[in-house]
Chain A
Amino acid sequence: MDRIQRLITGAASDQLSITILTLPTDNDRQAIKIARQLEENLKAVGINVRIEPRADAELLQTVLLEHDFDCYISRHPGGYDPDFLYETFHSKFAPEAGWQNPYGFVDTELDKLLERQRSTTGSEREEAIGEALDRLAQTHPIVPICVPDERRLVRTDRFAGWNDHHLGTRLGYLGLEPDENDFEDEVVLNAVITDSSPSRNINPLAAAYRYRGPFVDLLYDSVATRDDDELRPWLAESWEWDESVATITLRSNCLFHDGEPVTADDVKFTYDLLDDTSLGDRDGQSPAPRYRGVGDAVESVTAVDDRTVRMRFGTSDEVGELAFTVPILPKHIWKTAVEDRLENGAEPIQGTWDLVTTEEIPPIGSGPFALTEQEPRSHLRFERFDDHFTRRGYVDLPEPRVDEIAFHVEPNSSAAVDQLEAGNADVTGTILGSETVGDVPDGLELVESESWTFYHIGFNVRNSPFSNLHFRRNVARLIDRESLVADVFNEQASPTVTPVTGEWVPDDLEWDGSAPYAPFFRDETNSGDTGELDIERAKREFERHGFQYDEDGEYIVRS
């Protein structure tokens, strides 16, 4: 029987087996390639592997909300400020569902460092971050692999200004200048995307559907907006700091898409809702599955008058200001949405209850564009909101200049590029897979943007075998970043051992050809080729940490 099973599945019945969740080729060709490479190496050292492809939202659902995984390979959105590490790895979030600590990772030393970087500034903060990254690199809740170049293709015949702002943010779609000669009446910007999530669900709190793209930020305003390295006033006219208290003055006469005014009350409501999506209905709290880290920095919010909000923070001003980028939700819609659900007997289970997963709450914001059409797995249409404050003459911010933006869902990156070449679209809204950017076709232009996202393996440290640090480290040592970057990414990525990018990477963790705490088991005798796994050495390491092999020394026996 055993033999038959081995013959069919390639695994013995008592062999250690793990499941790798990842995206199918259609969604992310690089992720599945990394998974296949890891599969090969794991099998070589005697661990059986099941690869389970899941679509974008379904992968996030399993990992973030259900915590039902061994390990997964995908891209993490990262963050321009390293404070996202707090949300991602602090132990106090381990029991919660959402983007907060999906790994179930608990390390009190790391907790202290993550807290320290929130309360310090300048070189002190930098040091705390460096130490936190160091700790992460030694404890391996995730294995960062590389930071892919962020590339998009655009057509320059109908619109100009593609390079003015980051195309992954709202500003990227504002300020674009249409060539009036190309349009008879309506100016429509056509974008192609390869992720169907926004067409299926646009709820700003739905963790599984919110990963990339400017969709929520086009629809909703936030107090401030990120513009390169600075935070600029957006819905706020200005703010002032006084000892961890920010007094925010909102712009006057701003409206939601349904005509209701945007007031300080909406701002206060939004932060209250993030803190507890049941609005205090139950004893326990039900924090939102998104914006958890920044929401946690907010200690209290007071609406002083219609246009003035006072926010007290438990962190440095620098970290506190990150909370200014969350979408401001209309109280008149969301309060009813919460109350209706509770009245109908819904349990406000944290992270997964209807309010934070449904697509049925009217998508009304105050942002520069309003949603007019949403067809699941097909397209989304946004229409310019003419009352938006950026349209006022005296406001010095990029304003929406197109009448309509349509995002069309394409089956994969190559099909998206085809649509641009055929002249049916002006921009690839999602980041292109590295397989699609070879020679830039005629009439198209490549736009490169700063990238914070990184490919990684995430481990579920709640369960065996990834609860074991040594197991995680040895699996990390099966990853050959340089050969992956060369073979899978065509060199359009940089190897990394940290989840942050750019200047935040401490010197000792800069990539220098080898991962400091978990170097690849490279076969040194095979000096000619790179990327050869030293199987015997890897097996010995697993064995040294208590993982037993069968009598023939072929596979690791499940304990």
Chain B
Amino acid sequence: MLAELLTQVTAIIVVLLVGFVPVCIGRRRLRATRREWRDRMREAAPVAGVVLVVLLANRFTRQRLPDISWAIDWNLTPTFYAIEGEAIIWFQQFASPLVTQYFSFVYIYGYVFILVFPVIAYFALSDTRPLRELLSAYALNYLIGLFLYLLVIAYGPRNIMPTAIETVLYDFRPQYQYLTQEVNHNTNVFPSLHTSLSATIAIFAYRTRDEYPIWFAVAVPLAASIAVSTMYLGIHWAIDVVAGIALAVGTVYAADRFVGRWSLSEDFGIEIDEYVDRIRRTAGMRTPADPSPSADDEYGEADGTDVEDPSSDEPSTGQRS
């Protein structure tokens, strides 16, 4: 059942991307990306690695996290309920099958799309700073989110209002719970990571509105829809959504400060090129005779493709930007 759902999600996201990428990013940028992707990869690799580590850490601790949370036993569900009561029921007045269809689509597919698209879009920019900032913001959102999930036990409104919400996602689409429980546990609703990540992306979309005006026009309403969907579908409290927005603002600010502050080679003495090289050698792959030419030459040689002038607008990995 899970595999089926994953295939479905992947298929729909691919369709959306195929339609959206050319329109929004444009041929010129895609062509440049084909030429420069290795440089950009190398620049984004450290922060992408961090994101990967955070995701894997979540993956492997997910089943154990609730035990630790229950040991701490800081159950905020009654507090949230006491503060906002049945506030999110307000959205029920707009309930209709069409609206429900829209919000459940947005909650599942819209969310995955909004996460994936900007990674591609910013990768297509010759300046990798937005990409690195975005990825750092992802990692920060996740890290802080996980920490709060660990610290706080909070069930969502659907778990305390069994009848008041007619549009609980898992009531009419129980299968979606397989999908979401792969990522999260039902005691982890504070803050709403759906909201915080969407809001983060919306803020970035605003900043890159000159480069991607269409994306800006899409991302902001989509992010707002995702935030509303979490409440409409009974998954999150309004408090979770507010906390999600606060988290988004905080992480964007932090990502701004952090990105470019450290450099792997200067601050930590890690030379990615050397590592790549070493890995290649141990893997017995064909390596260039001279291990220390400029990175572009090395890659260019290895793949035999034509590399354009590398001294473009790009700062290299070693430099602070």
Cα A97 to Cα B181 with chains together (Å): 33
Query: For the complex, is B109 an interface residue (Cβ under 8 Å from A)?
Result: no
User: Taking the nearest CB of chain B, how far is it from the CB of A270, in angstroms?
Assistant: 29
Interface size class of A (residues with CB under 8 A): 20 to 34
Name which residue of chain A comes closest to B70, CB basis: A58
Residues from chain A with a CB closer than 8 A to the CB of B177 are: 411-412, 415
Query: For the complex, is B170 an interface residue (Cβ under 8 Å from A)?
Result: yes
8 Å CB interface, A8-26 against B: 8-11, 19, 24-26
Name which residue of chain B comes closest to A52, CB basis: B78
1/0 contact trace for B133-171 toward A, CB 8 Å? Answer: 000000000000000000000010011111100000011
A36 touches B162 (CB 8 A): yes
Cα A380 to Cα B264 with chains together (Å): 45
A414 touches B171 (CB 8 A): yes
Query: For the complex, is B77 an interface residue (Cβ under 8 Å from A)?
Result: yes
A377 touches B63 (CB 8 A): yes
Query: For the complex, is A351 an interface residue (Cβ under 8 Å from B)?
Result: no
1/0 contact trace for A1-43 toward B, CB 8 Å? Answer: 0000000111100000001000011100100110010000000
User: Taking the nearest CB of chain B, how far is it from the CB of A281, in angstroms?
Assistant: 27
Known: A411-B170, A412-B177, A422-B1. A53 touches B77 (CB 8 A): yes
Query: For the complex, is A378 an interface residue (Cβ under 8 Å from B)?
Result: yes
Known: A411-B177, A411-B181, A412-B174. A19 touches B78 (CB 8 A): yes
B174 touches A51 (CB 8 A): no
A33 touches B78 (CB 8 A): no
Cα A180 to Cα B217 with chains together (Å): 60
Residues from chain A with a CB closer than 8 A to the CB of B10 are: none
Interface size class of B (residues with CB under 8 A): 20 to 34
Which listed residue, A8, A36, A376, A412, touches B170 by the CB 8 Å rule? A412
B159 touches A377 (CB 8 A): no
8 Å CB interface, B63-101 against A: 63-64, 66-67, 70, 73, 75, 77-78, 81-83, 85
Residues from chain B with a CB closer than 8 A to the CB of A9 are: 82-83
Residues from chain A with a CB closer than 8 A to the CB of B178 are: 411, 415
1/0 contact trace for B170-183 toward A, CB 8 Å? Answer: 11001101100100
Residues from chain A with a CB closer than 8 A to the CB of B155 are: 24, 53
Query: For the complex, is B187 an interface residue (Cβ under 8 Å from A)?
Result: yes
Name which residue of chain B comes closest to A37, CB basis: B163
Query: For the complex, is A112 an interface residue (Cβ under 8 Å from B)?
Result: no
Which listed residue, A32, A54, A376, A418, touches B75 by the CB 8 Å rule? A54
B83 touches A24 (CB 8 A): no
Cα A26 to Cα B184 with chains together (Å): 14
User: Taking the nearest CB of chain A, how far is it from the CB of B299, in angstroms?
Assistant: 43
B175 touches A418 (CB 8 A): yes
Query: For the complex, is B316 an interface residue (Cβ under 8 Å from A)?
Result: no
Ordered by A's residue number, 16 sampled pairs between the chains whose C-beta atoms are within 8 Å are A9-B82, A25-B161, A33-B163, A36-B162, A52-B75, A52-B78, A53-B77, A53-B160, A58-B70, A376-B64, A377-B63, A411-B181, A414-B170, A415-B174, A418-B1, A419-B1
Chain B interface (Cβ < 8 Å from any Cβ of A): 1, 63-64, 66-67, 70, 73, 75, 77-78, 81-83, 85, 155, 158-163, 170-171, 174-175, 177-178, 181, 185-187
